[in-house]
Amino acid sequence: MTSNTPTPSDQALLTLFSEKRDPSAFQLLADRHINWIYSTALRLTQNPALAEDVTQGVLLALAQKAPKLARHPSLPAWLFRATRYAAHTLLRSERRRKRHEGANMPPSQSAPDTDLHWSELSPRLDAAVARLSTQDQQAILLRFYQQLTHSGIAAALNITEEAARKRVDRAL
């Protein structure tokens, strides 16, 4: 894509992938969302390998459900919920497996206080985002998970920059 070409929306890419099975459309979607999906999964699982499994599962679900999701009002909100669901399901499965094997959890190593506080706080933040309305959730996901500026949020949501700023502030 050249710098003059506008970036296609998530819905446009989903439609292109669904109707024409265009792998480059799916690749653009994956590239756009993979980092924050992985970060969310890592916060929830506290394990890089499990976070990779969750991320792969969410992207697979995205590919399978692309035709239906092309009409979804907020792909980031759907991805966020799918990531939380996949992480919780995988963690539950891992606990069952370990209990079945009779394996004990390895002793935890001392972590700096900031890591300890973050590990306690991050699941609460994700839970709070999950309770937001779809519009507010979308604004927060775009701002902090995808790290878009207020003008980027405005373009993604087709609203003014001031409206984007207010939506993010209200959601916070």
Average pLDDT, the chain: 82
CA torsion, points 96, 98, 101, 106, in degrees to nearest 10?
Answer: -160
The percentage of the chain sitting over the pLDDT mark of 90, rounded to a whole number, equals 35
- pLDDT for res 110: 45
Least confident of 40-49, 80-89, 110-119: 110-119
100 or 104: whose pLDDT is higher?
A: 100
Average pLDDT in the 18-30 region?
91
Q: What is the pLDDT of residue 33?
A: 93
CA 81 – CA 153 distance, rounded (Å): 20
Q: pLDDT tens across 107-138, in order?
A: 444 445 555 566 677 777 777 788 888 888 88
For 50, list phi and psi in degrees, rounded to 5.
Answer: -65, -40
Q: What is the pLDDT of residue 170?
A: 83
